[in-house]
Amino acid sequence: MARRKIGVIGGGFVGSTTAQRLAEKELGDVVLVDIVEGMPQGKALDLSQAGPVCGYDSCVTGANDYASLAGADLVIITAGMPRKPGMDRSDLLKINGEIQQKVVSGIMEYAPEATLVIVSNPLDVMCFVAHQVSGLPKNKVVGMAGVLDTARYRTFIAMELGCSHKDIQAMVLGGHGDSMVPLTSTASVSGIPVQQLISPERLEELVHRTRHGGAEIVNLLKTGSAYFAPSASAVAMAESILLDQKRVLPCCSLLDGQYGIDDTWVGVPAVLGANGVEKILEVELNKTELDALQSSASSVHEGQGEVAQMLSLA
């Protein structure tokens, strides 16, 4: 049986670390694609040479074109420009929207059956672009944000309680940004509600830190942004899809009525399996959380309309 083929678009820190994690887990053969000549080839060769040391047999190759993705089962898209000083939200939407449009068109030419996992920012709107451009059914396009945001939330709760993050159950819904919704009503430690263990005031501080978790890392690094946790999150989603694990993970998915939200890409609990987003779980939220989720979705919907006009998308 032939091994699966997994594409990673973008050879920067997130993309190359994603390729490394995919190879180490032996989820399939990995193709790293970037427009910079020689860069993905060099990183792929380096990753291949790590195989004998780390004990993996995954084939890792690099390319500057999309033809190498022919027959890919899944493609993770990390390509995009980071927001620079003086650049407003609309500028970022247009630049990354155009990049996403070009990337997805290239993928579809050679791997029209691939499931797409979007990591590029602004995440929720880029999922909209990928869906529109690809023409894929909505279950075959999914965005990575909730897994990352939830990992940060779980980390902060574990640090606060001095316990293992393995025992923290928590979830972050909504858009990937300041409007995200870390749920406090359902967060628990081995089944014990965190609201019994952490004061409301302190819990709200952890929620605030989660919302700004990415910015905290950017401020510490001075140049660059997070890539260890984002790549781990993308690979967790890819693994669930490729191995049909049917894990329940918070993912950016297209809603059509769930939570009172229509035609909007937003983070919600989803079952990820061989068919991509196989089911969206509609859990009961308190009024504050539901209002926050709908407000977050409204902001995303506005961005979708803005980028659709910029790129002349249907």
Burial class of residue 188 (count of CB atoms within 10 Å of its CB; 0-12, 13-18, 19+): middle
Cβ(120)–Cβ(126) under 8 Å?
Answer: yes
Report residue 44 as tokens: 């792929």
pLDDT, position 84: 67
What percentage of the chain reaches a pLDDT higher than 90?
91
Q: For the full predicted model, state whether its pTM sits above 0.95.
A: yes
Q: Which of 180, 221, 220, 224 is nearest to 14 (CA)?
A: 224
User: CA-CA distances (angstroms) from residue 192 to 26, 155, 208, 310?
Assistant: 36, 17, 22, 48
Task: Identify the CA nearest to 267 among candidates 211, 203, 198, 204.
Answer: 211
What domains can you pick out in the chain, each with its CATH number? 5-143 (3.40.50.720), 146-308 (3.90.110.10)
Per-residue model confidence (pLDDT) at position 313: 87
Q: What is the mean pLDDT of residues 5-16?
A: 98
Is the distance from CB of 254 to CB of 301 less than 8 angstroms?
no
Q: Mark whether 165 is an active-site residue.
A: no
104-116: pLDDT as tens digits? 999 999 999 999 9
176, 208, 212, 301: which is the annotated catalytic residue? 176
Spatial separation of the C-alpha atoms in residues 275 and 100, rounded to whole Å: 22
Q: Tell me what the pLDDT averaged over the chain comes to.
A: 95
Res. 80: pLDDT tops 80: yes
Helices (H), the chain: 13-24, 39-54, 89-110, 123-134, 146-161, 200-211, 213-221, 228-242, 287-311
